[in-house]
Amino acid sequence: MPEWPDQFDAIEEFPGLPEILNKLAKLFPKKVVLEGMLLEGEFLLAEIVDSIKTLQKQGRGDLRDSYQVGLVQRKEDSVSVGVFSELVYAEIQDTGDTIKPKTVKWLAYPHEDAKAFVGIRWARDFPKKGAGSLGFALSSHDPKGTAYLFGRQFSHPVFILKKKVTIPGMQYLDDALVRFNKEVERPIDSSVGLVFEEAGFK
């Protein structure tokens, strides 16, 4: 890159400067800001996925597969890029909390041995009477806080019912950010260099 004189006659010395500056003005918002931010988002996404893989030993992958990079908000003079998940439990898996039922008496989740045939169904999806219905039974070990829903043809509970469930936070976002912060400037630095070359600086 040439050394620019301090005097105001820079344009006379370098007649191509106005054109170069105009190119830079057009290239920076898209090439550096937007593309750089999207690339940074991809870096952060990769760190989040790695953190979840490491911390969620028995996870099925729904949480890590739910994260994506995209435009969060676009305004006339600005744009926001984010890494986000649309899963309702993504935040609570990170921070942890105690969940209590709001509209029903119990929280229901499939018994470990029933997950294969329960699939995505909920307890309310089963018939209330007759074939295929589920029977209710309180836990003898925890009658005030745990119950079970049994199917007639199964020797184990189909659903476990809880008055509340405490989920310990994995802190996977904090873990991902520690590594991401070491790389955060790399995409922008790379984009800036390419933009200056494309504008005419050699």
Q: pLDDT (tens digit, 9 = 90+) per residue, 97-143?
A: 999 988 888 998 888 888 777 777 788 888 888 888 888 889 888 88
Give the type of residue at 102. K
Token pair of 129 as six digits = 């009477």
Q: Are 23 and 198 in contact (CB under 8 A)?
A: yes
Q: In percent, how much of the chain has pLDDT > 90? A: 19
Residue 196 neighbours by CB distance under 10 Å: 18
CA-to-CA distance for 105 and 186, rounded, in angstroms?
Answer: 51
Q: Contact at 8 Å (CB) between 170 and 55?
A: yes
3 state DSSP class of 170: coil
Q: CB–CB of 189/35 below 8 Å?
A: no
Within 13 A of 93's CA, how many CA atoms are on the CB side? 19
Q: What is the pLDDT of residue 41?
A: 82
* Average pLDDT of the residues in 52-73: 83
User: Which of 178, 179, 174 is CA-nearest to residue 96?
Assistant: 174
The pLDDT value given to residue 96: 94
| 73 vs 62 pLDDT, higher one | 62
Of 148, 146, 129, nearest to 137 (Cα)? 148
Where do we find the tokens 């050394």?
3
Average pLDDT for the chain: 76
Q: How far apart are CA 134 and CA 159, in angstroms?
A: 9
Q: Identify the band that residue 202 occupies on the pLDDT scale cut at 50, 70 and 90.
A: low
Three-class SS of residue 49? Answer: helix
162 in Cβ contact with 145 (< 8 Å): yes
